[in-house]
Structure 1
Amino acid sequence: MPVSFNTLDLNLLKVFDAVMEERSVLRASQKLALSQSAVSHSLARLREVLEDDLFVRTAAGMQPTSRALAMASQVRDALRALEAAVELPTFNPALSTKLFTLAANDFTTLALGPALLMLLGREAPSVDLVIKPVTRIDLAEQLDLGRIDVAIGVFSSPPSRFRTALLFEYDDVLIVSASRKLCRIDKAAFEKLSLVVVSFGGEQEGAIEGFISERGLARRSEMYDRAALEKAFGDSDLPPRMAISLPHFLALPALIEGSELAAIVPRPLAKAFERTHSIAIHELPYTTNPLEVRLLWHERVDEDPSHRWLHDILRRATESLRRAG
């Protein structure tokens, strides 16, 4: 009578695997936390189903038959695969070679990058990162399709299928060339400035009140508080001149150093520029609204240990920015 896998008790295969490994009914029973009689009974049932002795008792222990030897490795592999399928997944960053894909702009990459690389080198030296630009791509679609593991930015009321976590907050400041030797900047002095601002998009791409919306996900495109600026100088006869609008922060130091230009930038970025360039930081003569830089990911990876670790290490990489805020 042919063997039917559909009616086979998989517990019999676990007993077979244990006896094959231990070559002893006693040791197999101890390994499985079963009685010797239960192991013997299961082995007898499997022998009957397969119509083979499977093991022969000898002075050296239970010796497998040729049929048992032929099926042993496949049974073991199948059991291990089943265990991996039903048990909770684990993630060991120290041994992992996983590739994570992030979406971030150049500001947030600069703000968290050095600390993140230090943590990765210490805890997950073989984990690799791909950082895609947060602009020019449909973030919601990329997250839905699993092509991006996490996005970093300023978001407004994300759809319920997404989860978020705070990384840090920031407000705006003014940067100028350190050679200008400016004192405190009041509104009168500010009105005379030629400003550089950064906008990841613009009205031509459907930006509304500084946000671009795609598939229900609104991400901030204007990297300065335009509303606060317009409120502060809306009644001015000569408001500050918007001399240059850039799609990224990279060129700012080169444009500011040694020039008469000034730029409105996030405070953490200004501090980073001040450490490496001849840049001076000044408080704005008006108050800007603090913005939250957050992680954003799809709900389907909530229980994935590797993604939980990724979110945690990104949070730890921005700990100093939260303290500064």
Structure 2
Amino acid sequence: MKLILYNTDMNSINLAKVDLNLLKVFLALCQEHNVTRAAEKLCVTQSAVSSSLKRLRHLYQDPLFQRTQNGMVPTTRALLLRPLIQDALTKVEQSLSDTVALDVRQQARTVTIGLSDDFEVAFGRELIESIRQEAPNFRIVFKQTNSIVVEKALKEHDIDLAITGGGINDPRIKHLSLGRSGYLCIYDKRHRSDDSEILLEEFIAREHILISYTGITGSVDDCLEEIGLSRKITVASTHFSAIPFLLADTDAIATIPDFAARKIAKQGCFAVSSCPVAMQEFAINIGWHYDANRDSALMLVRDLIATLIRTKLRIT
């Protein structure tokens, strides 16, 4: 599809009969900050994106994106162009929507889901299967994030959707509540004499593995501090997926969200116990940038995620 541009006095200015696909490449680079990821998002080759970027630079007489250690950073001109191009393409898509009946489920799409790996461990495999059944040509990318950085990632379009524990406060980020979760203790059952519930005295006496974004302290420590107690943390990690390897063949305890603890406990030598420390449950949400409401593919994936996680949380 070609676009002929005109100036304000209606004299035709033919800018090489601009291919609208170039503008899609421009938006993908704005979102991904990386040529390879932009190519994956558009389901084209990396060389095709590089070629399109060269043509865009010639068209706008501006570098548009500068290579840095943080990826392809848009120039000031590109930042000004982005909302104009997004709006233009949206209007073109809307103008065609009544005449082109394309089932979103048959599209070839890459959808990037931001989440911490406790959600990935607990729900990742089933999410992939659920989405594949409805949209077999979708490619799902799980990208590590957390409640501290998730709003920024959504606003900058580094991710399309986010599964997060805790609230989302930015008004530009829409969200649905999926349910609530508490915490369980998980341990190697070969290093405990019985399967009784862990009491506070034992909890304090044993060593602990901390899973935390900071690697320094967690919610358990905050609650213990309120009652004048502390625990002995011997290992800290930012990854829930490391727990089976860090816990195995030790007498340590890890306190993690209940859905992740139950999933890991099914993998072999582990067992779970309620946590003897009074801890508040936390909300689980799925979030998306407000402009994703116009993308029916993302809304399909959002709804599939919401249905599956809500169902799983009720079961557990």
TM normalised by structure 2 equals 0.64
Partner of residue 59, structure 1: none
Q: Return the alpha-carbon distance in structure 1 between the equivalents of residues 282 and 93 of structure 2.
A: 46
* One-letter amino acid of the counterpart of residue 231, structure 2: P
Determine helix, strand or coil for the equivalent of 1:250: helix
The alpha-carbon deviation at position 230 of structure 1 amounts to: 2.4
Within 5 A, what are the aligned runs for 1:202-281? 222=218, 224-232=219-227, 234=228, 236=229, 239-281=230-272
Contact kept? 1:91, 1:306, Cα under 8 Å: no
Q: Does 1:95 align with 2:106?
A: yes
Partner of residue 296, structure 1: 287
Q: Return the alpha-carbon distance in structure 2 between the equivalents of residues 273 and 172 of structure 1.
A: 13
Partner of residue 185, structure 1: 198
Instruction: Write out per-residue CA displacement over residues 186-224 of structure 1, whole angstroms, 9 at most, x where no aligned residue.
Output: 222222111111111357xxxxxx8xxxxxxxxxxx4x4
The alpha-carbon deviation at position 258 of structure 1 amounts to: 1.8
Partner of residue 147, structure 1: 158
Contact kept? 1:101, 1:148, Cα under 8 Å: yes
Contact kept? 2:259, 2:313, Cα under 8 Å: no
Cα 1:112/1:93, change in 2 over 3 Å: farther
Q: Return the alpha-carbon distance in structure 2 between the equivalents of residues 141 and 240 of structure 1.
A: 33
**Matching residue within 289, 303, 306 for 2:297:** 306
Identity of aligned residues (%): 19
Instruction: Write out per-residue CA displacement over residues 290-317 of structure 1, whole angstroms, 9 at most, x where no aligned residue.
Output: 1112111111222432222121011122
Q: Does 1:321 align with 2:312?
A: yes
Contact kept? 2:215, 2:237, Cα under 8 Å: no
Contact kept? 1:228, 1:286, Cα under 8 Å: yes
* One-letter amino acid of the counterpart of residue 227, structure 1: D
Determine helix, strand or coil for the equivalent of 2:266: helix
Runs (4+) of structure 1 exceeding 4 A deviation are 81-84, 88-91, 135-138
Higher relative contact order (CA 8 A, sep 6+): 1
Q: Return the alpha-carbon distance in structure 2 between the equivalents of residues 184 and 141 of structure 1.
A: 40
Gaps of 5+ in 1: 1-5, 7-80, 204-209, 211-221
Partner of residue 68, structure 1: none
Partner of residue 212, structure 2: 199
Q: Number of matched residues?
A: 224
Cα 1:298/1:287, change in 2 over 3 Å: same
Within 5 A, what are the aligned runs for 1:20-35? none
Q: Does 1:105 align with 2:116?
A: yes
Contact kept? 2:161, 2:288, Cα under 8 Å: yes
Q: Compare CA radii of gyration and give the structure with the larger one.
A: 1
Range 296-305 or range 122-131, more displaced: 296-305
Contact kept? 2:199, 2:276, Cα under 8 Å: yes
